[in-house]
């Protein structure tokens, strides 16, 4: 039941995000006088619609997108204007563009000639087309800011989150850089020294500590010498003396990658206690929220840039024995599944309970909106970024003509990019179908 509820919450969040994206296009288009004939959430057969004024508002059966239909999206080709001779094209791509222009102009009724999209000033075109992606960015910014400032994010704290049961004596290898416990391995020093889950470190060898990095550095550099910890347990201070073990373990660079040389791990001697750090919720000051949103946007862009190379792994996982990359792309089906798993998690009240699950669902919807924002900025039709690129080029051409006192070069013919748009549409549909199939037969799970 909780799983189904989580799926519904994510589905509602996706639908609302799409609806607001299209409102981001609708409002400025109407403000600038463009005639908008349809505002639809979804694709396929119409489930419900109602006409208000000149615009039909509705919901369609397949909730995988939406659209706002504005008249005159494509300019007429030179020669189609009244009083001018029309050039005839026989090329396949030219005929494709001509047909698209004709379909676009069919919606223009007498009296609507100056309410077409293509006659807008370039900056107005940019505002209309950027309205959708910017709406997604605004949604993500509001949700992220709300979570990190009002609820907080889990951060590593100087406290005991878990204890290792032993000192793993197996030698690290490139395949297994972090060996696990084996039968016969000695008991972990943390257990022998009396540490317990929930203990908060206050000082090490008389030096106050406020971060896990300080505790970890003291353990690593101990070289087996006894460590005196002052910890807070159940509101009271306790002093514990723990004798770390000394192990040869893999070293890591600043990016968290194991350091190798000649195909082997580079090992270093370090103290070992057997403590896994705990986490606690830390609220972020609202002044730092813009930087957090920016960092998340940059990270999202980095993931999207790598999608083409990750699709090969998706194919291997969906049709072979390959494993899914937990950091790889997923479809709306995968997002819904993760939302269900979050809702179904059994989280004790003292660790966040339902509030933590709600925060995770909100972050999931925020991440989806960031992905929509970045994805729609790609400067290719049929994405919003393709129309923005055309408007920017038109702005440059007109500006250059004014500076040089040349005739107005006219409107940029974005219809010439339709072959690319159709090709992109085929690619996007193919990727969506593949991701949905992979999320059904080999889904990414929070629990591995």
Active site residues: 22
CB within 8 Å of 27: residues ≥ 6 apart:
131
Cβ 394 vs Cβ 410: under 8 Å = no
In the three-class reduction of DSSP (H, G, I as helix; E, B as strand; rest coil), residue 156 is classed as strand
Question: Exposed (0-12), middle (13-18) or buried (19+): which is 320, by Cβ within 10 Å?
Answer: exposed
DSSP string, 89-118: --SHHHHHHHHHHHHHHHT--TT-TTS-GG
Question: Which pair of tokens denotes residue 131?
Answer: 């309205």
Please, what is the end-to-end C-alpha distance for the chain in angstroms? 21
Q: What is the DSSP letter of 225?
A: -
Cα R_g (the chain), whole angstroms:
29
In the three-class reduction of DSSP (H, G, I as helix; E, B as strand; rest coil), residue 77 is classed as coil
CB within 8 Å of 144: residues ≥ 6 apart:
289, 292, 293, 296, 363, 366
Query: Strand 245-250 relative to strand 236-242: parallel, antiparallel, unpaired?
Result: unpaired
Does a cis peptide bond (omega within 30 degrees of 0) precede residue 382? Answer: yes
């Amino acid at each position: 039941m909780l799983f189904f509820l989580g799926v519904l919450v994510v589905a509602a969040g996706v639908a609302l995000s799409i609806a607001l994206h299209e409102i981001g296009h609708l409002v400025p288009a109407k403000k600038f006088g463009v005639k908008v004939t349809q505002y639809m959430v979804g694709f396929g057969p119409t489930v419900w619609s109602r006409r208000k004024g000149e615009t039909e508002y509705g919901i369609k059966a397949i909730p995988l997108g939406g659209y706002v239909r504005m008249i005159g999206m494509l300019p007429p080709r030179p020669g189609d204007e009244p009083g001018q001779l029309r050039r005839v094209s026989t090329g396949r791509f030219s005929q494709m563009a001509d047909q698209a222009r004709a379909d676009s102009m069919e919606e223009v009724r007498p009296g609507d000639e100056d309410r077409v999209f293509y006659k807008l000033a370039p900056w107005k075109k940019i505002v209309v087309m950027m309205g959708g992606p910017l709406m997604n960015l605004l949604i993500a910014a509001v949700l992220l800011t709300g979570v990190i400032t009002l609820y907080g994010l889990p951060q590593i704290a100087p406290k005991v989150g878990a204890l290792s049961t032993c000192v793993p004596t197996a030698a690290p290898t490139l395949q297994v850089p972090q060996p696990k416990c084996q039968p016969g391995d000695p008991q972990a020093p943390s257990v022998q020294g009396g540490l317990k889950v929930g203990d908060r470190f206050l000082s090490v060898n008389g030096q106050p500590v406020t971060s896990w990095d300080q505790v970890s550095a003291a353990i690593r550099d101990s070289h087996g010498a006894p460590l005196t910890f002052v910890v807070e347990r159940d509101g009271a201070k306790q002093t514990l003396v723990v004798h770390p073990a000394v192990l040869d373990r893999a070293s890591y660079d600043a990016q968290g990658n194991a350091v190798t040389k000649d195909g082997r791990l580079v090992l270093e001697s370090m103290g070992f206690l057997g403590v896994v750090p705990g986490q606690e919720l830390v609220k972020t000051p609202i002044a730092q929220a813009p930087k957090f949103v920016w960092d998340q946007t940059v990270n999202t862009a980095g993931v999207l840039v790598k999608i083409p190379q990750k699709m090969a792994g998706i194919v291997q996982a969906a049709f072979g024995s390959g494993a899914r990359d937990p950091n790889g792309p997923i479809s709306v089906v995968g997002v819904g599944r993760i939302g269900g798993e979050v809702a179904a998690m059994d989280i004790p009240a003292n660790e966040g309970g339902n509030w933590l699950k709600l925060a995770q669902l909100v972050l999931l919807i925020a991440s989806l909106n960031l992905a929509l924002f970045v994805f729609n900025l790609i400067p290719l039709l049929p994405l919003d970024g393709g129309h923005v690129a055309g408007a920017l080029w038109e702005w440059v051409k007109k500006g250059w003509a004014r500076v040089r006192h040349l005739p107005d070069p006219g409107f940029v013919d974005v219809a010439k990019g339709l072959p690319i748009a159709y090709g992109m549409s085929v690619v996007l549909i193919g990727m969506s179908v593949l991701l949905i199939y992979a999320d059904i037969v080999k889904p990414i799970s929070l629990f591995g």
